[in-house]
Amino acid sequence: MSASPSEFDLIARLRRRVAARADVVLGIGDDAAILRLPPGRDLVVAMDTLNAGVHFPEDTAPADLGWKALAVNLSDLAAMAATPAWCTLSLSLPAADAAWLDGFLDGFLDLAMRHEVALVGGDTTRGPLSVCVTAHGLVAPRGALSRAAARAGDDVWITGTLGDAAGALRQWRTGEPIDPALRMRLDRPTPRVAAGRALAGIAHACIDVSDGLLADLAHVCRASRVGARVDVDALPASVALRAAFEGDARRALQAAGGDDYELCFTAPKTARLAIEAAMLDCDVPATRVGAITDDDGRIAVVTSDGAAWTPPHGGYVHFAA
Amino acid sequence: MSASPSEFDLIARLRRRVAARADVVLGIGDDAAILRLPPGRDLVVAMDTLNAGVHFPEDTAPADLGWKALAVNLSDLAAMAATPAWCTLSLSLPAADAAWLDGFLDGFLDLAMRHEVALVGGDTTRGPLSVCVTAHGLVAPRGALSRAAARAGDDVWITGTLGDAAGALRQWRTGEPIDPALRMRLDRPTPRVAAGRALAGIAHACIDVSDGLLADLAHVCRASRVGARVDVDALPASVALRAAFEGDARRALQAAGGDDYELCFTAPKTARLAIEAAMLDCDVPATRVGAITDDDGRIAVVTSDGAAWTPPHGGYVHFAA
């Protein structure tokens, strides 16, 4: 951990609030952290950055930003069926601001504690507001899910509901009042860690929905050299989304809106009962929304009456794009 | 790894150029990387960010920036006596620019290959130019050096020479022509990886000099609850620095200038011969520059005639501070 002199106070603040884990041999305060993996576990590493004005509005509440910066990384670990363990945080701030940092840590450490993740290092620097997190998880050898394991004939499943985060962004852009339930999904996404772990050994391929379902499913299809058919009217929607949007507007938010951080996974038809039991166990709803095809690279989207449906755009558009 | 659609090309470019390592179970291209540690090794993690206009001038050559962004992280691993293994890279760019990325990777991957470090993941996002790297290394249990192990009576050592990087910055600020040898030290610092590893089991405490010798030695003293005496005239200087600066100007650059990424370490007097042999082995010069005292928290700086010397400022000042 390095810092300019004015940043030492921030680091000291941060250090006082960090939880311990027995496998952290050396945490914040030296040139690097030292971590001890349990025998027979592989290391899983994800790294994602959120930039002000690109990934979030400048005036996002610091606690929401702290939560989300960790959540998007834990979501990547969830998609690999990994168990989160440690993280590092690099925070660029226009000025040292202890109140802002306290708020940020409220959100960041709230989520970290829920998943027993220890913050073990990183740095604070001066610069335009930006948050970079590296999350470390553990997985048994060959126990991870990947994007490349989908097979023709698999069901395509989605956890939770889709479109809420994009719905909140849409309302924000058009100047409407933002529905609090939608806003919560945008600001405080739930990384599906337990669901991801429960799917290991049952599901074939898995990805988290950050860029939008169709864009992320396209990643799976490309990596697995398969195609997919998605029933846009089968996509699960929250009560709040149904109340705020209908018809093609809602379909577009669900199929192409990003930032939901649900898991999209594929599994053989024979696994349906096992999946329903596993999802019930971790209290996460999961819905079948389509199938993997051998139509390499092509995703067909249809409505409930079987007609082809074309999304207004093909993928996620960042906040300020 | 996540990205907006326009960034997929950059990631594909990057992926084609990355070297393989047998312990990378899954590299770039999924939600997270999977890495296999050898049995009986602890994981060492360092994370450092470089922001344009703060840590480097906006017009820094992309290859130099790529080199330096990795070098400062490998330097942190070196200070822990760790062997570098893998890294992740989060790159924020104002616009997708393939030529810039190619240049950046020239420098980044050049240094990565020299240390057999595999780039295994990360992300590219749109935003103000910023480079965040997380470096992962390996160390035997209890084999790491730390800041907290200095003991009164230890010698204080420094590898290589001090002040070159700060000298180049000084010339840049005053509008003088920048000496190429000094500039090289600023743009392409050498992480002292072999020296760090060679010091394991011999040295007591170790830190890399990023904020300036006195500031970084103060970290060691604080963590070890000791003090130090430094002979400012014993600080090793390069031929180029001696030619460009003299007297107190040179002393200040050497004692308080940052960005040299040499190792400052402490070791018992009885280890002098072992240290000289170890440093000879890895072809890195090392110089004794002072001693650890029991004067908790106080660093006394003296000239060769024993007079007290006060630096013009106490630590590192970032590029644009």
pLDDT tens-digit map of B83-138 = 999 999 999 999 888 899 999 999 999 999 999 999 999 988 999 999 999 999 99
Q: How far apart are CA A94 and CA B264, in angstroms?
A: 31
The two tokens of residue B206 are 């170790």
CA distance A216 to chain B (A): 10
Task: Please enumerate in sequence order all residues whose Cβ is within 8 A of that of A29, keeping only pairs 6 or more positions apart, or say none.
Answer: A1, A15, B147, B223
- Cβ pair B314:A5 closer than 8 A: yes
Q: Give A-chain residues touching B132 at CB under 8 angstroms.
A: 47, 49, 90, 132
SS3 percent helix, strand, coil of chain B, rounded to 5, is 35, 25, 35
CA A168 to chain CA centroid, nearest Å:
17
- Cβ pair B211:A315 closer than 8 A: no
- Cβ pair A35:B45 closer than 8 A: yes
- Which of A46, A79, A127 shows the shortest C-beta gap to B54? A127
The two tokens of residue B17 are 């150029």
Pairing state between β B42-51 and B24-26: unpaired
Answer yes or no: are the C-beta atoms of A204 and A150 closer than 8 Å. yes
Q: How far apart are CA A131 and CA A123, in angstroms?
A: 10
Residue of A nearest to B93 (CA): A51
- Cβ pair B44:A33 closer than 8 A: yes
Q: Can you list the alpha helix ranges (DSSP code H) found in B188-257?
A: 193-199, 213-224, 239-244, 247-256
Helix (H, G, I), strand (E, B) or coil at B87: strand
φ, ψ (nearest 5 deg) of residue B275: -65, -45
- Cβ pair B134:A46 closer than 8 A: no
- Cβ pair B128:A317 closer than 8 A: no
- Which of B37, B80, B321 shows the shortest C-beta gap to A37? B37
> In DSSP terms, which residues pair with B308 in a beta bridge?
B302
pLDDT at B56: 85
Helix (H, G, I), strand (E, B) or coil at A41: coil
- Which of A5, A46, A206 shows the shortest C-beta gap to B315? A5
- Cβ pair B43:A31 closer than 8 A: no
- Cβ pair A80:B317 closer than 8 A: no
- Cβ pair A34:B47 closer than 8 A: no
- Cβ pair A207:B31 closer than 8 A: yes
Q: Report mean pLDDT in 10-residue bins for chain A, 321 residues.
A: 53 75 92 96 97 86 97 98 97 89 94 96 92 98 96 98 95 92 96 98 97 95 96 98 96 94 98 98 97 94 93 47 27
Query: B47-83 burial by CB neighbour count: b if 16+ within 10 A, else e?
Result: bbbbbbbbbbeeebebbbbbbbbbbbbbbbbbbbbbb
Across chain A, how many H-helices and E-strands are there? 10, 12
Per-residue confidence of chain B (321 residues) as pLDDT tens digits? 444 445 556 677 777 777 778 999 999 989 999 999 999 999 999 999 999 988 888 888 999 999 999 999 999 999 999 999 999 999 999 988 889 999 999 999 999 999 999 999 998 899 999 999 999 999 999 999 999 999 999 999 999 999 999 999 999 889 999 999 999 999 999 999 999 999 999 999 999 999 999 999 999 999 999 999 999 999 999 999 999 999 999 999 999 999 999 999 999 999 999 999 999 999 999 999 999 999 988 999 999 999 999 876 544 433 332
Helix (H, G, I), strand (E, B) or coil at B107: helix
Output the pTM of the full model: 0.93
Residue of A nearest to B27 (CA): A45
SS3 percent helix, strand, coil of chain A, rounded to 5, is 35, 25, 35
Q: Is ipTM strictly over 0.95?
A: no
A244: nearest Cα among A170, A300, A302, A303? A170
CA distance B231 to chain A (A): 23
Q: Give B-chain residues touching A51 at CB under 8 angstroms.
A: 92, 125-128, 130
- Cβ pair A82:B32 closer than 8 A: yes
CA distance B305 to chain A (A): 30
- Which of A32, A48, A207 shows the shortest C-beta gap to B123? A48
- Cβ pair A31:B317 closer than 8 A: no
B212: nearest Cα among B230, B239, B188? B230
- Cβ pair B126:A88 closer than 8 A: no
Answer yes or no: are the C-beta atoms of B30 and B39 closer than 8 Å. no
- Cβ pair A315:B49 closer than 8 A: no
- Which of A32, A76, A141 shows the shortest C-beta gap to B76? A32
Residue of A nearest to B206 (CA): A31
Q: Give A-chain residues touching B76 at CB under 8 angstroms.
A: 2, 31-32
Q: Give A-chain residues touching B88 at CB under 8 angstroms.
A: 45, 47, 134
- Which of A1, A49, A75 shows the shortest C-beta gap to B132? A49
> In DSSP terms, which residues pair with A264 in a beta bridge?
A158, A207
Q: How far apart are CA B279 and CA B194, in angstroms?
A: 9
- The torsion of the CA quartet A12, A16, A21, A23, rounded to 10 degrees, works out to 20
Answer yes or no: are the C-beta atoms of A133 and A233 closer than 8 Å. no
CA distance A22 to chain B (A): 13
Across chain B, how many H-helices and E-strands are there? 10, 12
Q: How far apart are CA A208 and CA A135, in angstroms?
A: 15
- Cβ pair A43:B34 closer than 8 A: yes
- Cβ pair A54:B132 closer than 8 A: no
In this predicted model, what pLDDT tens digit does every residue of A198-229 receive, in sequence order?
999 999 999 999 999 999 999 999 999 999 99
- Which of A34, A134, A144 shows the shortest C-beta gap to B44? A34
Q: Give B-chain residues touching A126 at CB under 8 angstroms.
A: 51, 54, 318, 321
Q: How far apart are CA A161 and CA A286, in angstroms?
A: 9
Q: Give B-chain residues touching A315 at CB under 8 angstroms.
A: 4-5
Cβ contacts below 8 Å, chain A against chain B, sum to 230
Q: Give A-chain residues touching B121 at CB under 8 angstroms.
A: 45-47
Q: Name the amino acid, one letter, at A254.
A: Q
Cα dist from A205 to A301, B23, B115, whole Å:
19, 22, 34
Residue of B nearest to A205 (CA): B30
